[in-house]
Amino acid sequence: MTEPIEQSIRTHLITHPEVFALVGDRVYPGYKHQGVESPCILYQRVSTERALTHDQKPSGLTTARIQFDVLSDTLDQALAIADVMRIALVGYRGDLGENYAQIILPALEMHGDREETTARVIIDYSISFTEE
């Protein structure tokens, strides 16, 4: 069994030089861990679509919508992180950890404040990949 797509995406992001330069390995599932410094990226799967063949059997093609929350001290810094994530992800095809990405496409982007002292950019990506 291959690793979850979320783990593959995390590995892809923290090994991308421009993303790593801004957040290091501070890319976490679901929620901000106590004591973790900003800036950081949080991620979670919000939906999954599994394509079927004409005879209603699994085709192996899966599209997961992954939501990323970029948290930072300033909106400018959060937007800069979102920009390098876009470079690392949009249009990517190829090996993604133990998975194979057919294509990664942007789905949504929102800007706002999470708290008084934390800037937040929310970005969703649709990741189509081959699932065994």
- Give the tokens for residue 23: 């957040």
Instruction: With cut-offs at 50, 70 and 90, classify the pLDDT of residue 91.
Output: very high
Other C-beta atoms within 10 Å of 28: how many?
17
Domain ranges of the chain: 5-130
Question: Which of the pair, 88 or 36, is modelled with greater confidence?
Answer: 88
The sheet that has 118-130: what strands, in order across it? 27-29, 40-52, 58-72, 118-130, 99-115, 94-96
pTM equals 0.87
In the chain, the DSSP E strands lie at 27-29, 40-52, 58-72, 94-96, 99-115, 118-130
Contact predicate 26/39, CB 8 Å: yes
The CATH number, out of the four listed (3.30.2000.10, 3.20.20.70, 3.20.20.450, 1.10.10.10), of the domain defined by the range 5-130: 3.30.2000.10
Tell me what the pLDDT averaged over the chain comes to.
88
Question: Which of the pair, 18 or 114, is modelled with greater confidence?
Answer: 18
